Amino acid sequence: MKFAGLIVAGALALAGLAAPAQAQDFVPDRVVKSVGTGDLAAVVGALGHQVLEQGEDKEIVVLAENPDQLKYVLLGTACEMNGVSGCQGVLMQAQFDLPPATTYETVAKANLDYAALNVWVDFEQKSLGFTRYVVLDEGVTMANLRANVEVLLSLIGEAYPVAAGEAPAETPAGA
């Protein structure tokens, strides 16, 4: 699996060098109804991952990498709406170069087998992606945001071969 770059790359006004995320900012039971870049970086730090780049000013986005060198992005959405400062949604995404055996059918199978993810393909841009989306309306805990990132990253290893047409899907745990 080779990381292809992120669709949101054009939206990034990036900070300088990679730096470890600051886990001390993470308060698991804190309820958030909106997030900023610092909140997203705190989630990355709580996972023990590294922040590679982050947005500046009103660009609520963090590019991170886990110890297995899997890069992913956390992107704030629905920002500065309805009188609420910050972003009221978080898109979590990892994107890869398109494997040669990927078809609409293999992606549909991965979506069926791994409903906790949204698996998508862009044949024109030659990319395969995996996303989760969290709506923060009425509030979620920071621990919940961390758990959603963990779900995304843990299922990619299982869903990728299915979407890539590399292996038949096994029955997901708990199915």
Q: Does the pLDDT value for residue 160 go beyond 50?
A: yes
Q: Total domain count for the chain?
A: 1
Asked, for residue 1, whether it belongs to a domain, the answer is no
The rounded percent of the chain whose pLDDT value lies above 90 is 73
Asked, for residue 168, whether it belongs to a domain, the answer is no
Asked, for residue 117, whether it belongs to a domain, the answer is yes
Q: What is the mean pLDDT of residues 27-39?
A: 94
Please state the pTM of the whole predicted model: 0.81
Residue from 86, 75, 106 nearest 34 by CA: 86
What is the average pLDDT score of the chain? 86
The rounded percent of the chain whose pLDDT value lies above 70 is 81
Confidence of residue 170 (pLDDT cuts 50, 70, 90): low
Asked, for residue 172, whether it belongs to a domain, the answer is no
Asked, for residue 14, whether it belongs to a domain, the answer is yes
Asked, for residue 135, whether it belongs to a domain, the answer is yes
Which structural domain, as residue segments, surrounds residue 88? 7-163
Asked, for residue 174, whether it belongs to a domain, the answer is no
Asked, for residue 134, whether it belongs to a domain, the answer is yes
Write the pLDDT tens digit of every residue in 34-89: 999 999 999 999 999 999 999 987 899 999 999 999 999 999 999 998 888 899 99
pLDDT on residue 167: 64
Confidence of residue 25 (pLDDT cuts 50, 70, 90): confident
User: Which CATH number does the domain housing residue 29 bear?
Assistant: 3.30.1460.10
